[in-house]
C-alpha cells in the first residue's frame, strides 16, 4: 500500500495502518526522510498555484481521521474525527505522523523565499495547535 496518494480534488491522502505507522515513526526517530515520488512533488506546487491551498487528509485503517487545509495566506483549518478524540494515544500518534508527513512533503519543495517563510510560520502554528489539543485532552 502506498503511504501517499492524491485524490481527484488534488487532496493529499495519507494512508496509515499499524504497520505503516511503525515504519513512519521509525523513520522519523532515525531523522531520515521519506522518498517522495516526483509526481507528488509536482502536484504540491500545482495545487498551491491553482487553488491557493494545500489539503491533507489522514486515513487510519481506511477511516478518515484528520484533515488539514493550509491556505496560502497562512490560515489553517483542522478537522478531527470524533472517534479519534476518544483515544488520546492514537490521537497523539496520528497527529505526529500527519504533521511529520506534511513537513516531509513541504521540505522537498524548492519554494520561493516568501513561501518558505510562510511554510515555517505554518509549521510553528501546526505544532502550537498540536500542543493545545494535547493539553485539552489531557
pLDDT at 71 over 60: yes
What is the pTM for the complete model shown? 0.75
DSSP helix/strand/coil, 80: strand
**Number of Cβ within a 10 Å radius of residue 94:** 22
C-alpha cell at 53: 491551498
Which domain range does residue 66 map to? 4-137
- Cα(101)–Cα(88) distance, integer angstroms: 20
Work out how many domains the chain is built from and give that number.
Answer: 1
- Cα(28)–Cα(33) distance, integer angstroms: 7
pLDDT of 115 reads 47
Q: What is the pLDDT of residues 22-66, one digit of tens each?
A: 898 898 889 888 888 888 888 887 887 788 888 999 999 999 999
33 or 12: whose pLDDT is higher?
12
Amino acid at each position: 500500500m502506498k503511504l501517499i496518494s492524491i485524490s481527484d480534488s488534488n487532496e493529499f491522502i495519507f494512508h496509515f495502518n499499524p504497520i505503516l505507522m511503525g515504519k513512519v515513526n521509525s523513520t522519523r526517530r532515525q531523522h531520515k526522510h521519506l522518498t517522495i515520488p516526483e509526481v507528488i512533488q509536482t502536484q504540491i506546487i500545482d495545487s498551491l498555484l491553482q487553488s491557493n491551498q494545500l489539503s491533507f487528509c489522514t486515513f487510519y485503517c481506511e477511516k478518515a481521521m484528520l484533515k488539514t487545509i493550509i491556505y496560502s495566506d497562512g490560515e489553517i483549518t483542522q478537522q478531527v474525527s470524533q472517534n479519534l478524540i476518544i483515544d488520546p494515544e492514537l490521537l497523539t500518534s496520528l497527529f505526529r505522523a500527519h504533521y511529520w508527513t506534511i513537513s516531509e512533503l513541504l521540505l522537498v519543495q524548492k519554494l520561493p523565499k516568501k513561501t518558505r517563510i510562510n511554510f515555517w510560520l505554518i509549521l510553528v502554528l501546526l505544532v502550537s495547535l498540536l500542543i493545545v489539543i494535547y493539553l485539552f485532552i489531557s
